[in-house]
Amino acid sequence: MDGNGRWARARGLPRVMGHRAGIKSVRAVVEAAREAGVEVLTLYAFSVENWKRPPTEVSTLMRLLNEYLRRELSNLMRNEIRLNVLGDREGLPKLVQQQLARVMENTASNDRMILNLALNYGARAEILQAVRQVAEQVKAGKLKPGQIDEELFSRFLYTDGQPDPDLLIRTSGEQRISNFLLWQISYAELYLTPKLWPDFGKADFLKALSEFQHRERRFGA
């Protein structure tokens, strides 16, 4: 979800206004995904690299996240959406951790769609964590090196039990992956749009799905 800052700058507004506008796009895309029958939607909300941003911006983002979680719980329940987090939750502010735990607990039995929020997330960190866990299993004698395959390794990732993404959408015209789900998107189709995230709405999301439907997927064959 890229382009909040540029959206605000183009209008002579502070960056926080871009982030607030971006929340409206989150609501629109989540609703569109739910109506279209998408099983899993993952939103890259805050990366491990984002901590390098100015402290005031980081604190604002955390406040907006807390606000979003508090306000959206009723919508998640009404639409039978289960919230899940990809990333290191313990590195987030305590209030955010508590709000996430509350929403995840309340939505745990919802089964129409999974909404993954990638928070304090980085794909390299995720893979390294999985490698360490597998190594510990081998060291403890619970696994043999020959037992390690793609299916087993995937169980140690944050997305354990979920299908790999079919489609990766990137806004704002950027053409890079930015440390996002590197293992999982091996065969995902890419959809790049010049639209900034706050301008990306339901119609744009459906357009991306429509284009995806016309792709021929070979999976290396």
pLDDT digits (tens, 9 = 90+) for 49-100: 999 999 999 999 999 999 999 999 999 999 999 999 999 999 999 999 999 9
CA atoms within 13 A on the CB side of 184: 26
What's the pLDDT tens digit per position in 113-124?
999 999 999 999
Task: Provide the residue range defining the domain that includes 12.
Answer: 4-205
Is the pLDDT confidence value at 221 over 80?
no
Pick the catalytic residue from 4, 50, 110, 204. Answer: 50
Neighbours of 121 (CB within 10 A): 26
Pick the catalytic residue from 2, 84, 120, 204. Answer: 2
CATH code for the domain of 32: 3.40.1180.10
Greatest distance between any 2 Cα atoms in the chain:
60
Q: pTM here?
A: 0.95
Is the CB of residue 26 less than 8 Å from the CB of residue 1?
A: yes
DSSP assignment of 115-164 equals: EEEEEEE-HHHHHHHHHHHHHHHHHTTS--GGG--HHHHHTTSTTTTSPP
Is the CB of residue 46 less than 8 Å from the CB of residue 64?
A: no
In a domain, 91, yes or no: yes
In a domain, 19, yes or no: yes
In a domain, 199, yes or no: yes
In a domain, 214, yes or no: no
Q: Please report which helix (H) or strand (E) contains residue 47, including its range.
A: strand 40-47
Q: C-alpha 58: how far from its chain's center?
A: 18
In a domain, 215, yes or no: no
In a domain, 111, yes or no: yes
Supply the DSSP symbol for 187.
T
66 assigned to active site: no
In a domain, 212, yes or no: no
In a domain, 211, yes or no: no
The pLDDT of 141-153, averaged and rounded, is: 97
111 assigned to active site: no
Q: Are strands 167-170 and 189-192 parallel, antiparallel or unpaired?
A: parallel
If one counts the domains in the chain, the total is: 1
